Structure 1
């Protein structure tokens, strides 16, 4: 029998349960979402289904209204059916997977699982999303058949965005169940799998909560402020901007306190147990309901002045009063900001001699030693711990990777000078001449295994193709400062960008031309994709605006035209190459990055896709073929024989509005709805597999006998399209959704997309529309308001409405 998840039950409709239900629905699973019947029903409500389902329906509505969005597409909510645990619990008998997400109370969980045991169908998988209660206590006394299909599946919040899924085997869980859920979680739900042991708070929260507690206590001991700590433990150390205290506000201080208490109570032998006793000011905050974002105030809060200006405030733990936030700095942080690589930034911070650097080193040693002492208690290898912190807390490096970046031997020598106790297995590793936790050999990454005292390959999914590993195996064919062409195997090559935010410049355009020539002679097909960039990262944030700004200020319009011709020629060569080209976008795919994807034969996109042609925001239009190719994406979905008889206005207006309103999708599902992805394009949930899946698509197209598309003239809206959008522009101007300059730009965009001064239904060759793109772009560059928009974006990172 081939096991499948067609229907799942999620019991508990809070933010976590709602998030899991939304993720499952987005993956095509039908979901039964259940919660309790309200305790406060009036007599006339006790038989009213709507009243009895009030809690679960409110939970679903909260998930639909959540920001950031928990659903990839709100239409996915149609796969979710709500119910309550008295009237509808029997529906779990139809489910392949039953997930418990109720309050962290052992008695409540055991009562619920007793009901589930009686109703579930044989063979169905049952899991708990508990964050700390031992599984052995939850399932004690249940049948063997139940225990064989029971395990922990610990998602992290917000479920859609956090890559981590901890899997915790029960003592009796069947290996086939563990393997199936791991594969389903990785491929269908897009998660990074970490295998945890049945220990309190598992891996991510055991390590993460200890660090938070240790830093809060050390801050009080060393006399630092909340703002100073957050300045240190942010991007300079490869951490998110939420750092420590903004993270606590995001998670909720009540949750932080609960997880700390859980670790303290259940880990009596933990050598750092006292770090879990949080400072007194935390208890005062909880008493005052200062829990963070959920209550509107925590360590930080935002106040509005009478002029509606937002003022950021920060808590002074000594006085328990809020004061204006003054962002502190340290010499080590200032130096780190000037460095390019994370290792260089880490060297600045951990080797500095100012107060911030000394505090960073003190807490780094705490992290190193605590993580080292948890192997093999909570996980068998260092890989699980590093991945849990990267995927569950959005760290760029886990503790062992950070230790490597500093230098294992150097760190140990420095710690021993401070009389810190270094674990025996760390010293044993060094004594054997092994000076790093990870190493790359012949394109394969290895980690040090303390059990065998040897290096082993880091586990990787069978669908994963690593550009970094290929480059480490000397498979780079050509490169410059901005891009590389890499052999990723099976005669498939990959163009990788590596500028800041993967912005497109002349070097990238030049390499793309050379790469197409090389693949034409030596390869079967091409992937365009990147790996670097964090979460969500940027496939490409668009053209290099600094370059465009310089040309505008210097009035070098001929050079602008030459650059655009080269960019258009590159996209057109991608479109009509003799071999398949597949784009693999993720995260931000804006402007020129979107144009490259529109030029590819196929798009294999990550589910988290923020895609759009946003050039109007800087006073320009898509002129790398984007205006033409978006229109082409819309009309090529029509059968050729019926295209001329179709009301093209139904296609023209939404295609035009995508550009005129700088529409950006909030997911790949939305990008498909917006017309940027076609029916032949694919969506991949796991970003780790994106390059591998794009490569598979190339090979499938080759195997199917790839035939490049033929150049054909495009049917266009002509002058009727321009007249049609004038009404839309008028309404947008009146509603103040568009400025006069926006309207000026939009009218010209409609002229370009419509094919110029021709009649509706005319056919126009592609070169004509590309020339219209270039001319409009150059004319826009002459506008003072456009130049102001470009310069404002470069200076502030925000659009200017002028």
Structure 2
């Protein structure tokens, strides 16, 4: 048994340290953030605690203002206290975990650990966020107990968003301490753990830096340009859209060069050592402070006219972004292929410049990854996970290998002149058809397939489904038996948008759940949970002036949402990613939500000239009112005003916790830090609700402000228009929204039922679809994927 980790400290308030502190706070932990006392303080300033804590305070402030946000909600920063290492080390005596993220210099870390050993309690885990320094050197001179409790916890930046956490320990580390650290990483922080070995840059950065540097050198050899390379090594290669050079700009050229230099300096026996040698033009970029986004210019920058410009590696001058048209033609087509395995396979099969370049860099990277098994990690799974979780690759190197065909790729790699380890040659000779097969993975060290360890909490929809066919099915959605009496509803539309088939299936699924199951989960697959209604259908109907068809669609979705809301069995929605418009309305209709921490939600209909029409306007207001005790004389107008602002100003929550704060989710709704566990945790929530005697809510009516509220909100709108913050059409939409939220025209404040609210909502929605400027907004969104202000 180990003491739970509740109190933590982070030493070093730079980008990594403050990011780690922020995520610890996101997990509800108390955090002490320390840094050195700023040098060159005046005698008076040296006596001022605020001045002495300046570096820590600055790091925290930057974390609070960071974009993308480091904290789930700005209030989480209240859990972080600041100090300095000269005055506040004694405060570490109550800590359960201390992690350092100071400068990557051995002497500095050794000196810090010597001080820490004197103050931290015996049970405290001491960790380093180093990416390359040896544990044996860092802990030299420390006690046995210190070494037993010492681990490397190598987070990836930005800490909140990157799932990978590499854990490395020395030979003296206690196994129970390691297990405790792993449970903390996975269960509290929601990280994916990869066990690395005590080698320079561990797993992710070793493979990632090699792949990046090999790509950079190959670009020069082939006479390509940065935009050509990024067109190839992004989505077509199953890598992030930021590809190679855009990723370097995001990370920072100085950081990237430091990682490569560390590899080159440390890996003196690496057969591919020269790959890590930073080209001279990148050295010059660092000297000229062309570091990427942090200096507003790296390989790419925006010109005065906001157009993207590219740095020419030969001249170090910026020019208009261009690129080889033949490469563009191939890669644009490949980007539309949804299956990453099929996408990579087609890229490598291309016989033009794109395929030629892809083969050169991929084969080299795959061979290098295979040669590192046993040195940096013991399994292909560790390397694959590191690249997916730390670099956002859709497929790890060995998954790419399988996608290309194992045996033929072995032959192609050797034909290209790259050396493969004997373990891979023996694997081919044994008749193995891939690294992954039937739930097993090939162990290159043992030379055989072994069971692939799988945390049952990571079960996907495919794993949970029972039977060979869905219980219900149409073209837009299907419902499967997920076991344990839970029915799982899944959308199959593009971007999981809501269309008539989805609407129909919601009602059918609830009927089936009530009659044959004890609960239901709405869990989707794909990049985003639901981007809202199928806007094209609305635009087409509006263009044909089919107003009754639109009204029928609106009433249909309102009915489906309310059918979930009053289901006799619990319905749990499992949102993640973009959960917008109708997607959020669906969540508001569910009895409960189990959301991924990274859920970005909002009622965004105003951006396309409409208001929420799927019971969202009503349910959002009702949620804000449901906590008011009966008989309490509350100022309901304040609730109405806040809901009005959230909808009219298109406020999008940037995390599940912020969604709770905005009233989109309930405070009691669950949050899954690790999205991989979302479906299982949503299912468990439904089981728990069913087992606890679930009963549906009772319909409520509320006293709304009426015309006085409408008039007040209209004055607010007029002020925004007069100040140039809103257009006349914004005002028209807002006034219709005000009418709905205040209970309609017709006099003083009165009690309004749900059915009355839904009719007001539908009327406003349908009327706005007939407005020419709303139609312009909808069409612009469909064509450009961004809102039009008209």
Of 521, 524, 530, 2:518 maps to 524
Which whole-Å CA distance do the structure 2 matches of 1:335 and 1:108 have between them?
Answer: 51
- In structure 2, what is the Cα distance between the partners aligned to 1:471 and 1:454? 29
Distance between the aligned counterparts of 1:178 and 1:773, measured in 2? 56
Instruction: Determine whether 1:51 maps to 2:41.
Output: no
Superposition deviation, residue 579 in structure 1:
0.4
Task: Please point out which of 483, 488, 509 is paired with 1:489.
Answer: 483
Q: How far off is 1:532 after superposition?
A: 2.6
**How many angstroms does 1:473 deviate by?**
7.0
Residue of structure 2 in register with 1:420 after alignment: 418
CA distances 1:290-314 after superposition (whole Å, capped 9, x unpaired): 222222221112222xxxx313221
**Deviations 1:27-71, CA, capped at 9 Å, x for gaps:** 111111110111211222222212211222111111122111111
* Pair 1:129–1:719, CA change in 2 (3 A): same
Q: Specify the alignment match of 2:249 in structure 1.
A: 249
CA contact 1:148–1:172 (8 Å) conserved in 2: yes
Partner of 2:166, secondary structure, is strand
1:158 offset after TM fit, Å? 0.8
Give SS of 1:127's match.
Answer: strand
Contact 1:582-1:698 within 8 A present in 2 as well: yes
Separation of aligned partners in 1, 2:706 and 2:176: 60
Shift of 1:792: 0.4
Matched, 1:576 2:566: yes
CA distance in 2, matches of 1:338, 1:708: 43
What residue number does 2:443 align with?
A: 449
Residues 692/758 of structure 1: CA separation in 2 closer, same or farther (3 Å cut)? farther
What residue is the counterpart of 2:640 in the other structure?
A: 652
SS at 1:640's partner residue?
A: coil
Q: Moved runs in structure 1, 4+ residues, more than 6 A?
A: none
- Partner residue, 1:318: 314
Residue 354 in structure 1 maps to residue 352 in structure 2: yes
Alpha-carbon offset, residue 738 of structure 1:
1.6
Query: C-alpha separation between the residues in 2 aligned to 1:236 and 1:590?
Result: 27
Contact 1:475 1:488 in 2 (8 A): no
Cα distance in 2, alignment partners of residues 454 and 505 from structure 1: 48
In 2: Cα distance, 1:723 partner to 1:559 partner:
32
The answer on whether the counterparts of 2:458 and 2:680 sit within 8 Å (CA) in structure 1 is yes
* Contact 1:609-1:666 within 8 A present in 2 as well: yes
User: Can you give the 5+ residue segments of structure 1 that lack an aligned partner in the other structure?
Assistant: none
Q: Is the 8 A contact 2:164 2:193 kept in 1?
A: yes
Q: Deviations over 1:681-726 (max 9, x none)?
A: 1222111111111111111111111111223334433223212211
Corresponding residue for 2:21? 21
Equivalent pair of 1:404/1:438 in contact (CA under 8 Å): yes
In structure 1, which of residues 433, 436, 453 is the aligned counterpart of residue 434 of structure 2? 436
- Cα distance in 2, alignment partners of residues 740 and 593 from structure 1: 28
> What is the DSSP-based 3-state SS (H/G/I as helix, E as strand, rest coil) of the residue aligned with 1:589?
strand
Q: Which stretch has the larger CA shift, 494-503 or 603-612?
A: 494-503
Task: Output one character per residue of 1:517-569: Cα deviation in whole Å (capped at 9) or x when no partner.
Answer: 22222211111122431xxxx21111111111111111111111121122111
1:234-292: CA deviations, max 9, x gaps? 11222112111111111111111211121122222322111011222112212222222
Q: For residue 755 of structure 2, what is the aligned residue in structure 1?
A: 767
For 1:506 and 1:427, the matched residues in 2 are separated by 54
**How many residues end up aligned between the 2 structures?**
788
Number of the residue aligned with 1:631? 621
CA positional deviation for 1:666: 1.5
1:539 corresponds, among 512, 516, 529, to 529
Q: 1:386 corresponds to which residue?
A: 384
Deviation, 1:327, is: 4.5
* 2:546 counterpart of 1:556: yes
**Residue 98 of structure 1 contacts residue 126 of structure 1 at CA under 8 Å; is this kept in 2?**
yes
Q: Per-residue CA shift, 1:158-216, capped at 9, x if unaligned?
A: 11111111111221211222222212211221211111111110110010001111111
Q: Distance in 1 between matches of 2:628 and 2:450?
A: 53
SS in structure 1 of the partner of residue 458 of structure 2: coil
Partner of 1:729: 717
What is the CA–CA distance in structure 2 between the aligned matches of 1:429 and 1:498, rounded to whole Å? Answer: 38
Unmatched runs of 5 consecutive residues or more in structure 2: none
Q: Is the 8 A contact 2:101 2:128 kept in 1?
A: yes
Please report the TM-score for the alignment, with normalisation by the length of structure 2: 0.97
In 2, distance between residues paired with 1:475 and 1:721? 52
Relative to structure 1, the CA distance from residue 478 to residue 376 in structure 2 (aligned partners, 3 Å threshold; closer, same or farther) is farther
Q: Mark the CA change 1:474 to 1:384 in structure 2 (over 3 Å): closer, same or farther.
A: farther
Is residue 2:768 matched to residue 1:780?
Answer: yes
Contact 2:11 2:33 in 1 (8 A): yes
Equivalent-residue separation in structure 2 for 1:737 and 1:273 (angstroms): 57
Q: What's the CA shift string for 1:399-454, capped at 9, x where partnerless?
A: 111111111122123233334333322232232222122234xxxx3322223434
The equivalent residue for 1:509 is 503
